[in-house]
Structure 1
Amino acid sequence: MPIQAFSFSPLRPVAGAAALLCALSAAAQTAPATPSTPEATQAPAAEATLPTVSVRSAVGTADLLRLPASANVVEGSELQDRQMQVNLSEALGSVPGLTLNNRNNYAQDLQLSVRGYGARSTFGVRGVRLYVDGIPATMPDGQGQTSNVDISSLERVEVLRGPYSALYGNASGGVLSFYTEDPQGPLKLETGVSVGSDGQQRYSLKASGQTDGGMGYVLSTSRFMTDGYREHSAADRNLLNAKLVIPLAHGDKLTLVANHTQGDAQDPQGLTMAQWQADPRQASSVADQYNTRKSLEQQQLGATYDLHINAQQSLSLSAYYGHRSMLQYQSIPKAPQLSPGHAGGVIDMARDYAGARLVWVGEFDTIVPLQLSAGLDLQQMTENRQGYENFVGDTYGVRGQLRRDEKNKVSSTDPFVQARWQLAPRWSLDTGLRYSRVRFRSDDYYITPGNGDDSGSSRHSKLLPVASLSYQLSPQQTVYASVGRGFETPSITEMSYRNSGSGLNTDLRPTSSTQWELGYRQQLRGDALRGLWSAALFQSHSSDEIVTDQSAGGRTTYRNAGKTRRQGLELSAQLDLMRDWQLRAAYTWLDARFREDSGSGIAGQRLPGLARHNAYLGADWHFAPAWTVGMGVQASSNVQANDANTQAAPGYATTALSLGYRAQIAPRWTLAAFARVNNVFDKNYIGSVIVNDGNQRYFESAMGRNWASGVNVTYQF
């Protein structure tokens, strides 16, 4: 069956959302002015004052309304309300420019990209920096993961996009910062149970509160199990997250965090287009034969000391340590592994990582008011990686002989400085400069006849400047323009092989990018229409884009593909309509293309893994004090699967319905329950693509119509 061109008829909600966004400014001018929060909340419209939303991941905790960069803040309650709280993709569709695709494969991480950066990653997260309570979930080589994020204890998620992200170093597209709630009040205990389609089960327990001395604590644990939507896709994941906030003298505080993650998952792998069309729930033909699967475990500890030097200066010092281990069985055939230089079909990896961050912030009354910050980021990762044959005799899916043994070290040193100049009451200038240096070293301990020494080292460095100019049209409206340089190094995995010979692929260069954006943000403060909406135009020119070169027999090499361009438009709205309605809308148009052939004939082709159009429209109606009903529509145009653009996943639109109940059923008891149906109309579509898969198994099926339901009970001491 030929792939059908995407029809815009499923995207009718986009047209409505765009028309609404265009009318917001005029509507706000005619509505009576009433103080409001920049974000849509459930607070009644009559409330006189509401808090200002700050962006913690911007040094100096900038006001979101005046921040000279594209940013969204998603409250933890939005991630938790009427959701199973398993995947971040459940509730981040309302963030423009951010794509979070659920692979329905817990042996791989979510497919995450920001403004087109990160889409090429076939595992983990690339091109986007991740932080959890200030601790990087991204290694110094730019490879990260979201598996250790505990949704049930999140207070908020902050998403920064565009040039501003260059201030965080080795990432080109953006920054996602996850923050655990700061506990307050007496002890509170919560327990919950959720169930859903395909044997999904989630059990959770959380304790939070403050001691008489003001020390805050939160401890959250959960277990998730599923039989899997597809064959050979069962999973079992366990999470434990802890946070301790210790107040000190003079307003100082010490924050301690700990996290433990453990999971086992079968890997159904991708499907060819013919396989997906025949049966989207099947696994690949070799998944059972080789029993493809992955087990991982991670523990990490971190501490942050916030010190107030005086009324104008503060200091923050963070340090962390973590250990991550992974065992993965792949479906590489026996024949290629017989080659002396092959690394085998079983990956056994143990990784220790640590780092520190020092940030000083000062405010000065000079000719123009100045906020100055300076700091240093240090990261180090040591990885012991072994490879084994995935067979013993004629038995497959078991650990065989050793075929790879190496130690990889990656470290980064990043000093930075940032200044905010209040040029005039309505004008501000933000400037920043970061020098990022990343060092790679690999020591090969498996040297045999036909398999030479693959040891090697490489260094990459880049000076990353950023400048943003903003102007307040009114107390409720801000326009801004920003420009910056970013870069993205190859990961240690991408550097592991050459097409011929031994040693690290030191010919692989980092991707450099120059980005600019123009943005507008408005706070709406009427009685009937309240909230925040924004629009942004952006463009990014990159050189030395990293793409797959050759992929055969389980061995993939990479090369630089020359120049690319990403440009687009983002629209976003978070609104309260009257007292009982909330609306979330987002639309992203992204044109991402190769601009040079680099000898491969791909100039003018779309970058794979990216949709030109993404849209979300969600509405909640609080029709009674304890009851909420919601609807969400997610739509996407088609997605190319390879650099040559010869195969693509068709576009789609899906609808979800949900019902929630929350009430105090006794003086100290609160009951919350939900029920939801996703993909109400049982749309058969592809949820994500495996970019440039060597076996042309590009496609990972999304779930058909599915349901989930749960109950949560809280006792307040």
Structure 2
Amino acid sequence: MKPRTLAGTCVPLCLLTAALNAAWAQDVPPGVGSESASRAGGNRLDRVELNSRQQSDTELRRKSQVAKQIYGRDELDKYGDTSVADVLKRLPGVNVAGGAPRMRGLGAGYTLILINGDPAPPGFQLDQLNPAQVERIEVTKGPTADKSAQAVAGAINIILKDAPRVSQRDLRLGLGYNVDRPTPSATFTLGEKLGPVSVSVPVSVFEWRSLNESVTERYAKGTDGQPSSITQQGEVLNWGHGFNTAPRISWRRNDDETLNFQGFAQKGQWNNRVRYNNSLPVGMPNPEDDADNKGSWRMLRGNLQYNNRFSDSQSIELKAGIQDARGTFNNLNLRSGLPRVHSVGDNQDRSLTQAGKYSQLLGEDHSLAVGWDLEWRKRDETRTTTLANGQNQLPDFDGEPFGARIERQAFFVQDEWEVSPQWSTYLGLRYERIATSSRGGSESVRNVSSVLTPLWHINYKLDPKGRDMIRASLTRSYKAPDLGALLSRYALNGKYPDSSVTNEELSPDRVGNPLLKPELATGLDIAYEKYMNGGGMFSVGLFHRRITNLIRNAVTLETPSFASAPRWVSRPVNFSRAQTSGLELELKGRANELMPALFDPKTALNLRGSVSFYHSRVDALEGPDNRLDGQQPWSGNLGLDYRFSSMPLLVGGNLNFTPGYTTRQTQGQWLDQSRSRSIDLFAQWIFNPKASMRLSVGNFAPLDGQSVTRLSAGDFTRTERSGRSWVGLGLELKL
């Protein structure tokens, strides 16, 4: 079933063209009185606005003590995204799956997400954060001592907007379309400065509505134990609404002492409707059920930060934070239109954090810092599942509260030293103690582990101005298990709700493992960076990671205490050792600077591209294809934007491509993924410095995708998903 996306794309394009032509005829910007004057004015505007912004981000990157990519307002605003997750998917070396960013092809848990330098709390929804609330995004390839060492693949630091120094009234209105009807969104930012106090209150409201279509073919044992097969055409409709706000208050008592409060709140409701049309049954298959699912989420967070510079050489930074996140769900499985399994439940994540850092300058080019980082986090959840006859599915577990807790204490010391105009180094040592406990039913398990992470970053400038630079890092990092993975609660597969019946290996039950240990990784990074006079840059980097205590879900046949028949059960275990390596290349800049023989210096065209190659091996599995879960062999990004000199119009696009690949997940299970491609386009019409309109097209000319899970016994599930475009229209006003 191919979605009809061309008509959905052309209608908004025609409407926007008419609106822009009318606006151009009625309101000609100053300086467009003649062709020559407009071209001269367009070129001057392009050089001042685009180059200065690019140089600002690039200059911050060049001066950083560790390898870092920085993306400011230009990249955040370019495509008119309503979600930070949509911005991240176009960044070099970053992929987004299920709303979670992944660096270097590794899973989401290997990438550390920071908000203003602090680890993002559980329940934080990146895909519900509007880029209008963000000042810049920093992508770091290795951990640092003053941040959490849970950054095996790297870290993404999302810097929210500071409280403004002048009054601010910004309004952004958006309208998007994917299926059925348009969905609105709006962000309003209010900023004021009242003497020594600055206040910023951004508020975003949004809706979403999307349709995923698929065709799934299954071959497995049927309900009679004999081979069977079936084809299911499925439609999954997702919709919901929500809001978020990130108020910030800054009080500058004097030039040396400041107090900042950063709040964050998210709330919303989600809905999910699944419908299948079954065909071509052979034998007695057990198909996927229809489903009506709904739920809600709410997250509240507050952070307080105090900075005091006692003297030109001494300063202290103190932080404290509190967070509460809650979610509910109500899932109903249907077969032939009748209720089959009904699950309701809720979960709550709470955390307290406290951190501090004392810094001391040891001369003009030498800085020493020591600090601590304390965290207490707890997760509680309940779930009740009833069958069609009204009986509880698992009487020993239904309604029983389950919980997990993490207590983390970290202490660090770091030394930043500019040895000479060409040499600089960063040495760090971080010790973390992690105590986890899990409780549920009559079982209570406690586990304590510690991680010592030495870190060394070194930079060498090939020329005194730092235009050519070599960076190297030797680091230790880790990945702690999620709290949900520690809960020893069984969840029966929805296709096999009767615990007296053996399920199939492709449809296992799930349970957590309170004995999980953190994954540890030793990493080496080497990179060469070249910065050009006009603001462009080129980089090539190599990395390698050796991982111990690798966590992976293992499926085994066992007979739980509540079951009267053997069941296939999936649980996370410390599976094996592994290693991964990669090569990453990035190039960006003005077209005439990158290719002067092909482009005129006045051409207002910016180019950017990146390509990354990855290889990994899990020691416990035989090759080929014994790679880490979800790590593609390579991926590439290509983007451009062009500013017209004859009219105030900026257009651009981005292509992201990943080839197909196979992953051996266990000794007898493989996952095949087809190639993927995403094309995003935008056009921005600038009426004046305070008003602009933007048209965005996401996933233009979509490519269908396919995934196949297959077992050595011959059973398999093959799913083909149809791509679908998204169209958005936005208006930005500075009031």
Deviation, 1:63, is 4.8
Q: Give the whole-Å Cα distance in 1 for the aligned partners of 2:314 and 2:153.
A: 31
* Aligned pair partner of 1:211 in 169, 193, 201: 193
Does residue 516 of the first structure (1) align with residue 516 of the second (2)?
A: no
Q: Which aligned pairs between 1:228-627 and structure 2 lie closer than 5 A?
A: 228-230=210-212, 231-267=236-272, 286=288, 288-289=290-291, 291-329=292-330, 345-365=343-363, 369-391=365-387, 393=389, 402-444=398-440, 446=441, 453-474=442-463, 475=465, 476-497=467-488, 505-526=513-534, 530-550=535-555, 556-577=570-591, 578=601, 580-597=604-621, 601=622, 605-624=626-645, 626-627=648-649
The amino acid across from 2:358 in the alignment is W
Paired position in structure 1 for 2:701: 681
Structure 2: which 5+ residue stretches go unaligned? Answer: 1-43, 213-235, 280-285, 336-340, 492-509, 558-566, 592-600
1:137/1:49 Cα in 2 relative to 1: closer, same or farther (>3 Å)?
closer
SS of match in other structure, 2:132: helix
- The answer to whether the Cα contact below 8 Å between 1:237 and 1:263 also exists between their aligned partners in 2 is yes
SS of match in other structure, 1:293: strand
Deviation, 1:219, is 1.5
Paired position in structure 2 for 1:31: none
Q: Give the whole-Å Cα distance in 2 for the aligned partners of 1:82 and 1:298.
A: 27
Q: Give the whole-Å Cα distance in 2 for the aligned partners of 1:302 and 1:565.
A: 37
1:427/1:542 Cα in 2 relative to 1: closer, same or farther (>3 Å)?
same
Q: Give the whole-Å Cα distance in 2 for the aligned partners of 1:485 and 1:163.
A: 8
Percent of aligned pairs with the same amino acid: 16
TM-score (ref. length: structure 2): 0.75
Does residue 186 of the first structure (1) align with residue 183 of the second (2)?
A: no
State which drifts further: 222-231 or 551-560. 551-560
- The answer to whether the Cα contact below 8 Å between 2:548 and 2:576 also exists between their aligned partners in 1 is yes
Q: Give the whole-Å Cα distance in 2 for the aligned partners of 1:701 and 1:617.
A: 24
The amino acid across from 1:353 in the alignment is S
Q: Give the whole-Å Cα distance in 1 for the aligned partners of 2:437 and 2:50.
A: 58
Paired position in structure 1 for 2:655: 633
State which drifts further: 465-474 or 673-682. 673-682
- The answer to whether the Cα contact below 8 Å between 2:408 and 2:434 also exists between their aligned partners in 1 is yes
Render the CA deviation track for 1:164-208: whole Å, top value 9, x for unaligned.
Answer: 589522332221111112223223242413222223523223233
TM-score (ref. length: structure 1): 0.76
Paired position in structure 1 for 2:47: 44
Deviation, 1:70, is 3.0
State which drifts further: 156-165 or 376-385. 156-165
SS of match in other structure, 1:89: helix
Q: Give the whole-Å Cα distance in 1 for the aligned partners of 2:446 and 2:45.
A: 54
Q: Give the whole-Å Cα distance in 2 for the aligned partners of 1:136 and 1:691.
A: 37
SS of match in other structure, 1:171: coil
Deviation, 1:615, is 0.8
Q: Give the whole-Å Cα distance in 2 for the aligned partners of 1:73 and 1:356.
A: 27
1:358/1:609 Cα in 2 relative to 1: closer, same or farther (>3 Å)?
same
- The answer to whether the Cα contact below 8 Å between 2:139 and 2:154 also exists between their aligned partners in 1 is yes
Aligned length, in residue pairs: 611
Does residue 647 of the first structure (1) align with residue 671 of the second (2)?
A: yes
- The answer to whether the Cα contact below 8 Å between 1:573 and 1:586 also exists between their aligned partners in 2 is yes
Render the CA deviation track for 1:252-277: whole Å, top value 9, x for unaligned.
Answer: 222211111112223468999x99xx
The amino acid across from 1:307 in the alignment is N
Q: Which has the higher strand share?
A: 2
SS of match in other structure, 2:109: coil
SS of match in other structure, 1:424: coil
Render the CA deviation track for 1:258-316: whole Å, top value 9, x for unaligned.
Answer: 111112223468999x99xxxxxxxx965633x23342111111111121111122211
Structure 1: which 5+ residue stretches go unaligned? Answer: 1-40, 56-61, 104-109, 120-124, 276-283, 335-342, 447-452
The amino acid across from 2:47 in the alignment is P
The amino acid across from 1:516 in the alignment is L
Deviation, 1:492, is 2.5
Deviation, 1:711, is 1.6
1:539/1:307 Cα in 2 relative to 1: closer, same or farther (>3 Å)?
same
1:228/1:48 Cα in 2 relative to 1: closer, same or farther (>3 Å)?
closer
The amino acid across from 2:265 in the alignment is H
Larger radius of gyration: 2
Render the CA deviation track for 1:580-627: whole Å, top value 9, x for unaligned.
Answer: 222221211111221233xxx568612221211111111010114621
The amino acid across from 1:659 in the alignment is A
Deviation, 1:682, is 3.1
Render the CA deviation track for 1:388-436: whole Å, top value 9, x for unaligned.
Answer: 1154636999x99934312322111111111112222211121111001
Deviation, 1:701, is 4.3
Paired position in structure 1 for 2:105: 116
Paired position in structure 2 for 1:132: 115
Q: Give the whole-Å Cα distance in 2 for the aligned partners of 1:154 and 1:318.
A: 20
